[in-house]
Structure 1
Amino acid sequence: MKKKLTLIFVLAIATVTSYSQPFAKNNHLASLQIGFGGNIYNDYNYHMLIPPMGLQYEVIITDKIGIGNIGIGGYGLFSARIYDYNNAYYTNTRYHITVGARGYYHFALADFMDDPVFNKV
């Protein structure tokens, strides 16, 4: 338990102290995601075989418009679960696949940090 809490703390600090570059046209962003599964149906033996995993990709398609940039991208998610009824008579494996497209608007609020009007908010 102590190792898990230490890992969560280190990841939280790494996220808070990270720096990034401003978005610009033709920037490419990708991320890998993993989720925590859980039992949806507690009355039966319904458990996770493969945790939810996903991949996301994005391309910034415009220079700054207004106070941000527009990006488009896609994502894919996959997970698998096993459903056992009475542990011997019936077994069902369910695969969940999700594929989609996304649109993004990234706000560039760093430009407003030196503005005295913004600092009063």
Structure 2
Amino acid sequence: MDRARQRSANPWLVLVFEVVFVTASETLLKVGASKTARVAGWEWTGLLALGSIWIWCAIGLIVLSFLCWIYVLRYIPLSIAFPLSNVVHVLIPLNCWIFLGEHISPQRWCGIAIVILGLAMVAKPVAKIEEQL
């Protein structure tokens, strides 16, 4: 059987899930780290954060994103999948702005716009590649 018949899930959809899981995990790591008590002498290790449910949820999402990534790499060329997965560099700041109330400077907004332009340039040939998958 060829690869197209063996796969059970659309690799492009799995890539979307991978990006969502990474974005959510980074946000949860921030929430968990921010809520962790500060104890002199131990805070540099980050071990105290392991007592936070937010951190454990983030770890679970990291594992899920890893499994999705392995699946994606089976079907999508790395030279396409990796740049497209970098949409997290747009989504994480947006997530922090919307849900955590973090300030994003105009300079950062410009940087985010540049990343979006780069993603658009990478995504353009994806339609041709998808035909080959």
TM-score by length of 2: 0.24
Greater relative CO, 1 or 2 (CA 8 Å, sep 6+): 2
Q: Identify the structure with the greater strand proportion.
A: 1
If you compute each CA radius of gyration, which structure gives the higher value, 1 or 2? 1
Give the TM-score of the pair, scaled to structure 1.
0.26
Q: Of Structure 1 and Structure 2, which has the larger fraction of its residues in helix? A: 2
